[in-house]
Chains A and B, each alone.
Chain A
Amino acid sequence: MIDYMKIKSVRMILKKIFVFQSSFAQYLISLLIVATLSLICYSIHTYIGYQTVSFIFLLVVSLLPLFNLGPGPVFFAATLSAFIWDYFFIPPQFTLDISKIEDALMLIMYFIVAMVTGVLSARIRKQERFVRQREERTNALYKLSKELSTAYNLDKVTEIAIQNISNAFNVDVAILLCDSDKELLRSEHKLSFFKINEFDWQIAHWVFTNRLSAGKYTKTLPSSEITHVPLFSLNKSLGVLEIKSGNPLSLDQQILLNAFVAQISNAVEKEYLNEEAKKSLIISESEKLYKTLFDSISHELKTPLTTIIGATSSFKDEKIRQNITVLSRLINEINIAAERLNRLVENLLDITRLESGNLKPKLEWHSVSDLINSAIERVKNESAEHEIIFEEKEESGIFQFDFTLLEQAIVNILLNSTNYTPVGGKINIAVNKVDKNIVINISDNGNGFPIDSIPNLFRKFYRIPGTKSGGTGLGLSIARGFIEAHKGTITAQNKKDGGAEFIIFLPTT
């Protein structure tokens, strides 16, 4: 991974030209400073004396490292200023000769002191720069990991990765990720700086498969415009980082980029794992639903079939065939079972009709009390052990609705009430007219609904946990579907004095 990173950012280059390391510029600056200083000193040296000049030179040379000059230029400035001092200031002027022995000593000492202070402070500066660089790197990495930790999805992770790499290295960045089948996707993340061409896509794919860097500044396919860096975790490839840069990276930057890539790979992998976990949760939920559905439907099919097969197989017995009482009881049971089967099939057909979305109520004029009475009649067998009371407070009149659909809805609600109200319970039906709505209340004096089940009552296949077996969880959802087909609503609640209550609103206009 190291070998590809011979990239250099524009910012680093600018730094090099104007600030340090580029020796030519630094020597020029040294020369200018010394020359300027010499001119100033020359103009005033008659007032301050040539010995003071040496101290001024010394001061400036020892300050040079503050202008980010390296040891070389400082050394150059020290040497140059020593010569200038000797030539222009120490008598005899304009020669390199020195007449007095103390001047010669002073020159040597000046030279040594200037060198030592200059070079030492330059070295300190260099170390300081080094520390600062390291701090910048740490900060960049810290910023990246801090931002990645706040990312809540893959998109955000990619966005953060692109922004941070581009800021820290001053390069153009694009990211390719793989899909859930671990195949690299052709499309770059939408915040990418550039689109890659077919040639680079091939390289990216190679990089993804082999988990090795390739492209510009690497040994593999360096003719590409782009450096391709693989993003991968321990045992799987995650994507490819595409970097477009004018210069190779320095060693420091390569190390930093490696750290970035590792961090980003981790974050991307974490998001992939999250997504997988979410997906498997959904799958297991739907498997659970499927199983519940399958169990309830097969139970509903099996119970009446058991009755029918049990009864008909008895007919083979001669003794039973001659026993009229038993025979008629068996036939009655077969009848009930067949009706139950029929109801199940009707329910399944109804729900399919609702699902298909082409349920159009046949609107005709009917009276509401006819509707209720007809529904009560239809559940007569099932409600034999309950008392159904229908009170019509005022004449609710006739309005347009699909008799079959609404009757089925009311039947389903009544069946629900008889099934879950203890034997001997009372079921009350009240019809009222509120504004232009027909309001039908169907309530019982049973145990009511568990509070947390109320929002789910009308959901398809929902059954209150722990209720007796039998039933598919379709009846109420069909009732709601049929009522909503009339632009009406149905709600369920517990009555204040106990028992369940269904409230149906039907608009008459």
Chain B
Amino acid sequence: MAVLNLLSFYQQPDIIMAIQNTIVIIDDEAQIRKILSITLEAADYKIIESSKGKDGIVAVANYHPQLVILDLGLPDEDGLSVLKEIRSWSSVPIIILSVRNSEETIVRALDLGADDYITKPFNSAELLARIRANIRRTQQPDNETYLINGNLKIDFMQRVVYKNNKELKLTNTEYLLLSLFFKNADKVLTHNFVLKEIWGPSHMEDSQYLRVFIGQIRKKIEDDASHPKYIITASGVGYRMKLLNN
């Protein structure tokens, strides 16, 4: 396969620097590619368009983009298998473009390693925000000792979370959950992913655990737990910690 030949040329693909501000768009609808290109080019991104899954994979291998936008409904190949293929050798952020009401597919895509999703029709400001957040995440070092989001601060060394500089009383599980959300800020975490990370693979089906704990955490960190600002529900998919300005 062409892709594999290309890869063998680079011994360690992770080390290759992604080309600044390049985005690969894989979508079979010319109209969608066009509008994405116009919007993203106006925001100073370089766009590589691809109408087929296979071409898209080759483009990602060739151009080392900073981000990939992938439509799940491709004619020649299932979008999910394109995702799997890319994920098998690259950690480039992938944003899934999909229609509403296809939560199941979105969840599968996220579990297969997609970083985020956007439903059609999308708002360009939101799209740009997501792209920025996903690119930023790849650039931030992961050996931080603390992180700040809005009025919240997490100290990984002391295993403590502060709200308005006041220490929050958290159980161990609550702390683990919060630290998972902090480390993946602005990223949708599927129920499965969170359950697996916190409780282990044998509790993958017990999403009611998660609901209970999220409820408890919200009571502690949010000003109004019924209108959460930090941990947002992505309906049918999972949860996302929203990054707030300080």
Contacts and interface: CB of A to CB of B under 8 A. Distances in A.
A336 B31 contact: yes
Contacts of A320: 42
B3 interface: no
A310 interface: yes
Nearest to B51: A468
Interface residues of B, number: 24
Contacts of A466: 75
A497 B38 CA distance: 40
B126 to A, nearest CB: 8
Contacts of B32: 303, 306-307
Given A466-B75, A468-B28, A469-B29, A326 B120 contact: no
10 contacts: A299-B73, A306-B122, A310-B122, A310-B123, A311-B35, A313-B125, A314-B124, A333-B35, A337-B31, A469-B29
Contacts of B194: none
A309 B29 contact: no
Contacts of A330: 35, 38-39
B127 interface: yes
Interface string B89-108: 00000000001000000000
B34 A317 contact: no
Q: Taking chain A's interface residues, is the majority helix, strand, or loop, or is none over half, making it mixed?
A: helix
Nearest to A330: B38
A316 B42 contact: no
Interface of A: 298-299, 302-311, 313-314, 316-317, 319-320, 323, 326, 329-330, 333, 336-337, 340, 466-470
Contact of A306 (B41, B42, B73, B121): B121
Contacts of B133: none
Contact of B121 (A310, A333, A467): A310
Given A313-B123, A329-B38, A333-B35, A303 B75 contact: no
B160 interface: no
Nearest to A329: B38
A307 B123 CA distance: 10
A323 B38 CA distance: 11
Nearest to A326: B42
B135 interface: no
Contacts of A306: 31-32, 35, 120-122
A383 to B, nearest CB: 14
Nearest to B97: A306
A333 B38 contact: yes
B99 A309 contact: no
B42 A469 contact: no
Contacts of A311: 35, 38-39, 124
Interface in B3-47: 28-29, 31-32, 34-36, 38-39, 41-42
Nearest to B42: A326
Contacts of B126: 313
A228 B59 CA distance: 78
